[in-house]
Amino acid sequence: MKEKLNSIRQSAMELIDKCTELKSLDEIRVNLLGKKGELTALLRGMGGLSANERPVMGALANSVRGDIEAAVDAKKKQLADAAAALKLRAERIDVTMPGKVRPLGKKHPLTQVLDEIKDIFIGMGFQVASGPEVEYDHYNFEMLNMPKDHPARDTQDTFYITENILLRTQTSPVQARVMESSPLPIKIIAPGRVYRSDEVDATHSPLFHQIEGLVVDKNIRMSDLKGTLSLFAKRLYGKDTVTRFRPHHFSFTEPSAEMDICCFSCGGKGCRLCKGEGWIEILGAGMVHPKVLRNCGIDPEQYSGFAFGMGLERIVMRRYNINDLRLLFENDQRFLNQF
Ligand code: PHE
């Protein structure tokens, strides 16, 4: 019995020593010390021993059991420590590593300048309105004093969807919509996309942007138009900006004008930017035609107004010296990142 106990101890120690997994360690423990274990079975046979052998064997069996338990516990701790160390190593974070740089988005130059223009007009008490890009012929032309046979329609190469529905060629239909449906007085700008069936080249695009403006109230005069738009030009181009108004023609304003600013590149002497003119055209404007007011249900005897419209792309191109309109629509990051 003594030999058996010693050999159990020896082989147990070897098994435990070689063990590399918590699970098999547990199996070893159960096989030896469990209810049906080897050592337990041996102890059950102690009854057959003589009275003076029994305490000696009992003590030996207890010391074997103690040794095995101690070895299992020690191994368990060793395996657990190794597993924890492995996990720590796997989860280690090197806080000295450089961070990942997230590319930062920014506003498109068209949006940047539009925001600036909006701010200028909002600062003068204007509200921002909008209208549909798919528009009725009625609002894009008829209401604006351009009946079907009007020659001015030819200058706006229109994308027709049906005979009566088109892609708006200007933001001016928003004027008619606002006058028809809003209480007076009116003081709005309406930025948005417009469409004309032009071939794409350095200065033409079938899609571009306009910013419309409209003021309707009692006693609105040409001097209000000039004052408002001159102030706008000074805010956008600098306080020393000189403006001039030239007579022009639009079917929905009377009188009509175009506003130029003195060339900010050459100061009026004439250069490439202003094509030797000394002046740069910025926008079209005029007093709202009495017919248009009447079309929208406003009495021209009581109310008057002025309107203006400008092209956003041209303003942006001049501001940043961009010589090809297509750059604004291609979304090439190398171009856009410069703004
Ligand atoms: N809608 C005109 C254009 O596209 C611009 C304009 C707007 C002129 C408002 C006068 C008043 O050319």
Residues 159 and 251 in one domain: yes
Could you say which of 90, 125, 151 is where a domain stops?
90
Helix H or strand E encompassing 304: strand 304-311
Q: State the pLDDT at residue 130.
A: 97
Report the CATH number that the domain containing residue 216 is assigned in CATH.
Answer: 3.30.930.10
Q: Whose CA is nearest to atom 7 of ligand 1?
A: 309
The DSSP annotation for 215-249 comes to EEETT--HHHHHHHHHHHHHHHH-TT--EEEEEEE
Mutate to test the pocket of ligand 1, among 158, 172, 215, 252 (most ligand atoms within 8 A of CB): 172
The reply to whether 74 falls in a domain is yes
Query: How far apart are alpha carbons 4 and 178 in whole angstroms?
Result: 106
Tens of pLDDT, residues 212-235: 999 999 999 999 999 999 999 999
Residues 240 and 319 in one domain: yes
Q: Name the domain count of the chain.
A: 2
Closest atom of ligand 1 to CA, residue 194 = 4
Q: State the pLDDT at residue 25.
A: 84
The reply to whether 17 falls in a domain is yes
Residue span of the structural domain in which 42 resides: 2-90
Query: How far apart are alpha carbons 133 and 208 in whole angstroms?
Result: 12
Residues 169 and 318 in one domain: yes
Residues 11 and 122 in one domain: no
Mean pLDDT of 96-121: 94
Residues 131 and 31 in one domain: no
Which residues form the pocket of ligand 1, taking CB atoms under 6 Å from any ligand atom? 170, 172, 212, 250, 253, 284-286, 307-309
Q: How far does the centroid of ligand 1 lie from the alpha carbon of residue 321, in Å? A: 24
Residues 246 and 321 in one domain: yes
Q: Which residues contact 238 (CB under 8 A, 6 or more apart)?
A: 264
Confidence of residue 296 (pLDDT cuts 50, 70, 90): very high
Residues 257 and 327 in one domain: yes
Return phi, psi of residue 192, to 5°: 170, 175
Q: State the pLDDT at residue 278.
A: 94
Could you say which of 32, 55, 90 is where a domain stops?
90
Query: How far apart are alpha carbons 238 and 118 in whole angstroms?
Result: 16
Q: How far does the centroid of ligand 1 lie from the alpha carbon of residue 31, in Å? A: 96
CB 63 within 8 A of CB 71: no
Q: State the pLDDT at residue 300.
A: 98
Residues 141 and 202 in one domain: yes
The reply to whether 83 falls in a domain is yes
Q: Whose CA is nearest to atom 4 of ligand 1?
A: 170
Q: How far does the centroid of ligand 1 lie from the alpha carbon of residue 163, in Å? A: 23
Tens of pLDDT, residues 307-338: 999 999 999 998 898 999 999 999 999 999 99
Cα–Cα distances in angstroms (integers) from residue 325 to residues 195, 236, 306, 315, in the given order: 15, 20, 30, 11
Tens of pLDDT, residues 259-275: 999 998 888 999 988 88
